[in-house]
Amino acid sequence: MTGKGNLVVSYAAQRTATGFNSHVWEYSTDGTTWTAAETATITATSFATTTLASINGLNNAANAYLRLTVSGASATSGNNRLDNIQIGAITLPTVLGMSGTGSFCPESGAQTFGMGATEADVSYALKNGATTVETVAGTGSAISFSPVTATGTYTVVGTRTGASATMSGSATINVSPTAAFASATRNAGTSLKVAFTNFTGNVAGATVTAVDVTTLGGKTLTLSGASVAASTWVAIPTDATDGDSFTYTIASAAGCTAIGTVTIHVASVHGPDGTIASVTGSGPYIATMTFHGVLGLHYHVQRATDLSGGGNWATQAEVIADASTGVINYADNDAPSGGAYYRLIYP
């Protein structure tokens, strides 16, 4: 079966009135471990042709074995007769090389894959994992598939009359990292060290490859080492003002990159500065909000539905400002349907 596939067995069989009525066919590549292929029911008492479904488990096997087990005779004198046994197979597509192979990043744009050579009677399917992306007929020369951008591992499978073979080579479009870290809060009058792990925290194996130390509103960031590669943190200076920002670049283990922007927030040392960074509705009666506070301090989130007479403020939860960023995220999962007001109280 080397170079062959889709094994088909056909034969003529007949039984006596008390003969075997069940033919169990199995296949093996070593003559020891057997796999069921098909069970044929024999009812004819004169010769009739039985054709088994294609057996793909022996495709390109160096050694191939078939075994027939009969059963169902109702008398010891019952028998079967087999004649004109035929075993056929299809020549598998030649394993040729996929073109455009390699490892790519989405920021490189669409990638075009193909085959450097093809067989004219073979169809070639570009697959992303197990999903067929596109099928192109062989021409006897090179072919190309349409450009693709979706992440995943791409291979090509060639098929001739139902018999398939995977072509050599593969290509991967990797997932780009996400530069999600977007804000840092320092206490008024103090500097703030931001660990590089904040920049790469959401991407396994990612590294910081660049920090623009001169974009902070004219102020200068300080790295912990002589270079970005030798550093583990960056220090935001005491003269950085609210709204200043700087950029950084992270790279995944596959070399794909993303650029993030960090906006500086300056918090009062006497308590929260009263700024709500964002409020969003994430579902019926759910309000999600972000506050800025002093690093590591405990606060109380209060809610009111009426501001007259000083407001009917009521504490909803105790929260802690993130020790590195000062950010406080809070979700009110039972927000009043008519709207509400929120504030932070310290202590």
Burial annotation 216-236 (CB, 10 A radius, 16+ → b, else e): beebebebeeeebeebebbbb
Alpha-carbon torsion, ordered 147, 152, 153, 158, to 10 deg? -50
3-state secondary structure of 8: strand
Q: What is the pLDDT of residue 261?
A: 93
Specify whether 79 is located in the same domain as 109.
no
The Cα 219–Cα 201 span in angstroms is 26
**Quick check: is 178 in a domain?**
no
Q: What is the pLDDT of residue 8?
A: 95
The Cα 267–Cα 90 span in angstroms is 75
Structure tokens at 306: 């009426």
267, 302, 327 — which closes off a domain? 267
Q: What is the pLDDT of residue 283?
A: 61
In this structure, what are the phi and psi dihedrals at residue 36, rounded to the nearest 5 degrees?
A: -65, 135
Q: pLDDT by residue for the chain (347 residues), tens digit each?
A: 999 999 999 999 999 999 999 999 999 999 999 999 999 999 989 999 999 999 999 999 999 999 999 999 999 999 999 999 999 999 999 999 999 999 999 999 999 999 999 999 999 999 999 999 999 999 999 999 999 999 999 999 999 988 899 999 999 999 988 888 988 887 777 788 899 988 987 677 889 999 998 878 788 899 999 999 999 999 988 888 888 999 999 999 899 999 999 998 887 654 555 566 667 776 667 888 888 877 778 888 999 999 999 899 999 999 988 877 778 899 999 888 888 898 888 76
In this structure, what are the phi and psi dihedrals at residue 251, rounded to the nearest 5 degrees?
A: -130, 135
**Quick check: is 336 in a domain?**
yes
The Cα 101–Cα 145 span in angstroms is 13
**Quick check: is 319 in a domain?**
yes
Q: What is the pLDDT of residue 277?
A: 64
267, 290, 321 — which closes off a domain? 267
Count of CB atoms within 10 A of residue 320's CB?
12
Specify whether 162 is located in the same domain as 208.
no
Percent helix, strand and coil across the chain, each rounded to 5?
5, 50, 45
Q: What is the pLDDT of residue 202?
A: 66
The Cα 20–Cα 23 span in angstroms is 8
Burial class of residue 148 in the structure, from the number of CB atoms within 10 Å of its CB (0-12 exposed, 13-18 middle, 19+ buried): buried
Q: What is the pLDDT of residue 65?
A: 97
Taking alpha carbons only, the member of 225, 230, 246 closest to residue 181 is 246
The number of residues in the chain equals: 347
Report the largest interatomic distance among the alpha carbons of the chain, rounded to a whole angstrom. 106
Specify whether 108 is located in the same domain as 76.
no
The Cα 230–Cα 251 span in angstroms is 15
Specify whether 140 is located in the same domain as 161.
yes
Specify whether 251 is located in the same domain as 300.
no
Domain range for 257 is 183-267
Taking alpha carbons only, the member of 114, 92, 61 closest to residue 162 is 92
Q: What is the pLDDT of residue 282?
A: 63
**DSSP for residue 55:** B
Structure tokens at 292: 């800025």
What residue type is 271 in one-letter code?
Answer: G
**DSSP for residue 229:** T
Q: What is the separation of C-alpha 104 from the centre of its chain, rounded to a whole number of angstroms? A: 15
Helix or strand run (H / E) with residue 32: none
Total-model pTM? 0.65
**Quick check: is 323 in a domain?**
yes
What radius of gyration do the chain's Cα atoms show?
Answer: 35
Specify whether 193 is located in the same domain as 167.
no
254 and 174 Cβ atoms separated by less than 8 Å: yes
Specify whether 165 is located in the same domain as 197.
no
What residue type is 200 in one-letter code?
Answer: T
Q: What is the pLDDT of residue 273?
A: 52
91, 107, 122 — which closes off a domain? 91
Structure tokens at 31: 């003559």
Q: What is the pLDDT of residue 276?
A: 66
Query: Considering its fold, how many domains does the chain have in total?
Result: 4
Query: What CATH number should be reported for the domain holding residue 123?
Result: 2.60.40
Taking alpha carbons only, the member of 95, 89, 91 closest to residue 27 is 89
